[in-house]
Amino acid sequence: MKVAIFGLGYVGTVCGACLARYGHEVIGVDVNPLKVDMIAEGKSPIVEPDLDELLAEAHRQGRLSATTDPAEAVKAAAISLVCVGTPSRDNGSLNLEYIYQVCRQIGEALRDKSDYHVVVIRSTVLPGTVDRCAAIIEDASGKRQGEHFGIASNPEFLREGSAIKDFQNPPFTLVGSSDPRAIEVLRELYAPVGAEFIAVDTRVAEMLKYVNNSFHALKVAFANEIGQVCKTLGIDSHAVMELFVRDTKLNISPAYFRPGYAYGGSCLPKDLSALSYQAQQLDLQLPVLSNIQSSNRRHIEFGIKLVQRTGKKKIGLLGLSFKPGTDDLRESPLVELVETLLGKGYAIKIYDRNVNLARLIGANKAYIEKQIPHISQLFVNSLDAVINESECIVIGNKDPEFAQVFDRVRPDQVIVDLVRIDRNRRTGGNYEGICW
């Protein structure tokens, strides 16, 4: 396939070299004539292991050229990969000027082109940018997206120093588009890579790169804060973290990575508080660890506001314990939800088959009696009782019994789901998910 690559910086040059290696014909495009000349000669404008060899080989085989003329490249290619920079402004926002300028140039070139063309936004951009790019191309070309041209998000996951290996061995190839034809063109483009090909909604693809990089930054900051505590206590932090990463059930795993309601229970809040207090005693400032509880409280408030926005005053809560299969109510975020809504005048009914108030003992009993002294008056004995007496039904934990609610609610009732008990449900109609 013939591919035009706009932007011969780090991402564009690496992508061009790798695609040429897979047999595609690559046309590099850049405003900098020096970069264009270097690429046209099979030389790299950046330093990256193995890149010089790939470019030289592509040049020898006649699969690599470059130009400063966008129209020339678009007319010769079936695909345009946009790899230009998205620098930060002083206020932290993205400068998308270069992206939009390239899309306008592509659109102008498409005005005189009859063949279907796929525009791929490879640059890192926030959700909604690809839609804006499509509008710019439509305006400049006079043609319609999905009919005369397709557009897609195709985020890159390259790291400096290992970019060639990362391109050739990605965790998967991700394409976000609403155009089936564009998806199939890109499936063919990346077929030689051999990685799993995943097609998703455009905004999902745009968002993923930011999720990845934010989490990577969080991992570094978290590890360094643990390191500070360990150093001050005379502990080898590497010995601690080597054990930490060996747990692939909870620590290094998909566990806890499904957005839902806040954490609770007798362990996480207590242990985090203890570690944060220990850090204060050691005169350490640890912004990540010390703000986790604040973030959790904000998320509890987020859920409460979601219920309030329904406009319903009779609330039925399915599940009071912080997770199914337990009667532990200590630090349950659902207890705080109930307490807050009661204080605001809401009528509440609760059903949780695992919570038997008569059997609660010790700290568990003392906690719930302190937080909600009259809680026994709120409990009902069945799912039907909640449905019959509520205007808004809140799903608080993933007890399988609660999945029945979807088939039994009335059209005038609203469901607020804090746990996504049915992963196929999406917000719409009388259903509202807390994070989806």
Q: 15, 18, 267, 392: which is the annotated catalytic residue?
A: 267
- Write down the residue that tokens 């904000």 correspond to: 298
Which one, of 14, 21, 34, 132, lies nearest residue 81 by Cα?
14
As a whole number of angstroms, the distance between CA 38 and CA 44 comes to 6
Is 392 considered catalytic here? no
Which one, of 178, 131, 161, 148, lies nearest residue 49 by Cα?
161
Question: Residue 419 burial (CB < 10 Å; 0-12/13-18/19+)?
Answer: buried
Which one, of 354, 337, 436, 344, lies nearest residue 396 by Cα?
337
CA atoms within 13 A on the CB side of 377: 7
Strand order in the sheet with 117-121: 64-67, 25-29, 2-6, 79-82, 117-121, 149-153, 173-176, 197-200
Which one, of 351, 343, 412, 411, lies nearest residue 378 by Cα?
351
As a whole number of angstroms, the distance between CA 152 and CA 200 comes to 10
Hey, what are 191's tokens?
A: 């077929």
Secondary structure class of 180 (helix, strand, coil): helix
Secondary structure class of 137 (helix, strand, coil): helix
Catalytic positions: 267
